[in-house]
Every structure is written in C-alpha cells, then in structure tokens.
C-alpha cells in the first residue's frame, strides 16, 4: 500500500481497526455494568450472544455468504475458550467498576503471548516486548488505584474472575489467530456466539429476572457493540501477531475507565490517571508508532499479513 511515496507496513491495516474494536469493547462493558443488579450475569451473557446470532443471521444473507469452516476442532475450541472467558468477565464487571474489571481482563496479552510463542511460534521482542510490559504495568496501576476504593471481598471475587477471564481470553485469541489463515471473521464469531450462549444459558435459567423495556434496550446494546467489536477485532488479527494485537487492545481499559467516569460517575483515583497514560504510551511504543514519529519515518517493514 503506497501513499505519497511512503510504503506503509501491512500491520497499519490492522492498527486502526484495533483502536476501533477497543472502543466498541469498552462500550459493551459500559452497557454490561449498567445492567448490574438488574439482570443476572447469565442473562447478560445470553443476551450478548443471542444478539450476535441475530446479527449473523442477517449478515450472511445480506452479504451473500455462507459460514466457511476451515478446521472444525479449532473452530470449536475458539468458541469454548471465549464462552468461558465471557462468563468470568461479566461476573467481574458485576463485582467491580468498569475500569478495573476491563483492566483485569486486559491481562490476556500476557497469556496470549506465551501461548502464541508455544503454539504459533510467534516471537515477542524489541519494541513489542517493551510496549507489552509498559502497557501491562499501566493497567496494573489503574487496578491498584481503583481497588483502594473497593470493598475487599468484592474486589477479591471480582479480581479472581477477571484473571480467569484473561487466561481463557488469551487461549481464545491464539485459536482465533490460527483460524484466520483459512476461516473468515464471521465464521469465527459464529463459534463464539454458539458456545457462549450454551455456557450462559444454565446460569440465566437458574437466576432469571424480569426483563423490562429499558433493560432489554441496554442488553441489545451489549450484543450489538460486542458483535461489531468482535468482527472488527477478528478481521484486524488477520494483519497482526497475537502479541501486537494484545498491545493494541490494551487501549480498551483506557476507553472503559474514561466511559465509566464520564457516564457512570465511577471514582477516579490519581493512580488511575497515571496508569492510563502509561498504558497508552505502552501501546504507542509497542506498535512502533512512537518510535517512527520520533525518527520521522513510517516506512519500516512490519509483519506480513498471514491471511484474511
């Protein structure tokens, strides 16, 4: 891709999409937090994936496409890991404020990078390693600052669920990354929706609460934001490595923290402000944007596109 004489790396196709998906994921978390206490975690999980299935039901006929299953076993694993992760994630959101909940889940790049190294032979080095460490440290500062204002028991349960969601998210993203060589984004998302709905349904039926018009509208917002975010993220992962995708996705906590403070008036600690800045700085450094801006060039080669 050429523009005004500059050769832009392939990964630049994925980076803007990662930023957009991060904002959409943060919006989904905000809506989920708004449903805390009004609907059970199982209902929110089922609502998210049910809307996703409706979305796909309209997407395929409109685009004139059909699901394309490259490797059914890996396709199923992506949905299983993702479904378990979302159950833990939404429980964490219910226990904590939006900012710290999303930040705990955002630790998935650590686990994803480790799994990506062993299963996909992806390397983590140079700017990417430094950015991953800095962004994760920034996320930790936000967690630390916000936790000072949370009850110990709620924070303990929520933090445990958040970390488990990060572990399964990392595994799900590695499976997603492997699938993107021969499976389109919509088919990958279909696995997520099917298995996520299956995991959430028992919890929804065990703790069913009345669904009012207002809560139903917010629940649809959860599903739509999730569907759009997941499709954009899945497409972006066709251009970047697991670790690079993880660094870019660490913008989600910054967006979530800002939305929680602005919309829900959730407390903002000074450490959270510092952590958000470190997080964004880590993203810029890890993706190579900051370094290229400092030296005045954008033409360095990036990782090749592994497939769409």
- Mean pLDDT, 10 residues at a time, the chain of 308 residues: 49 77 93 93 94 91 87 91 93 84 79 77 69 77 69 71 90 85 85 93 93 93 91 80 70 84 81 76 65 49 36
Distance of CA 64 to CAs 57, 58, 60, 179, 282, Å? Answer: 11, 10, 6, 21, 41
Can you give the pLDDT at residue 258?
A: 85
Cα separation of 133 and 181, whole Å? 28
DSSP 8-state secondary structure symbol assigned to residue 240 = S
Can you give the pLDDT at residue 289?
A: 55
- For the stretch 268-284, pLDDT in tens is 777 777 877 787 777 66
Cα separation of 159 and 83, whole Å? 18
DSSP-based three-state secondary structure for 9: coil
- For the stretch 9-48, pLDDT in tens is 555 667 788 889 999 999 999 999 999 989 999 999 999 9
Can you give the pLDDT at residue 51?
A: 93
Can you give the pLDDT at residue 87?
A: 93
Helix axes 251-263 and 126-147, enclosed angle (nearest 10): 30
């Amino acid at each position: 891709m050429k523009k005004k004489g500059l050769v832009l790396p392939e990964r630049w196709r994925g980076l803007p999409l990662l930023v957009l998906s991060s904002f959409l994921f943060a919006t989904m978390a905000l809506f989920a937090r708004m449903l805390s206490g009004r609907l059970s975690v199982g209902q929110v999980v089922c609502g998210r994936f049910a809307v996703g299935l409706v979305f796909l039901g309209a997407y395929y006929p409109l685009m004139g496409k059909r699901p394309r299953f490259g490797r059914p076993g890996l396709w199923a694993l992506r949905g299983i890991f993702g479904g378990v992760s979302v159950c833990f994630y939404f429980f964490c959101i219910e226990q904590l404020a939006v900012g710290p909940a999303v930040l705990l889940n955002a630790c998935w790049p650590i686990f994803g990078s480790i799994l990506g190294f062993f299963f996909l032979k992806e390397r983590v080095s140079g700017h990417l390693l430094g950015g991953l460490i800095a962004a994760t440290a920034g996320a930790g500062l936000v967690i630390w600052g916000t936790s000072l204002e949370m009850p110990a028991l709620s924070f303990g349960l929520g933090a445990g669920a958040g970390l488990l969601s990060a572990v399964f998210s990392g595994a799900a993203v590695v499976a997603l990354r492997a699938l993107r060589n021969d499976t389109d984004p919509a088919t990958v998302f279909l696995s997520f929706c099917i298995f996520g709905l299956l995991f959430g349904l028992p919890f929804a039926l065990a703790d069913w609460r009345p669904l009012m018009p207002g809560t139903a509208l917010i629940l649809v917002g959860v599903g739509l934001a999730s569907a759009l975010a997941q499709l954009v993220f899945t497409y972006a992962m066709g251009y970047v490595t697991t670790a690079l995708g993880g660094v870019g996705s660490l913008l989600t906590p910054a967006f979530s923290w800002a939305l929680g403070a602005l919309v829900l008036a959730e407390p903002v600690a000074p450490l959270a402000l510092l952590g958000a800045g470190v997080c964004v700085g880590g993203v810029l450094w890890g993706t190579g944007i900051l370094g290229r801006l400092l030296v005045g060039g954008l033409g360095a080669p990036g990782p090749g596109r592994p497939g769409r």
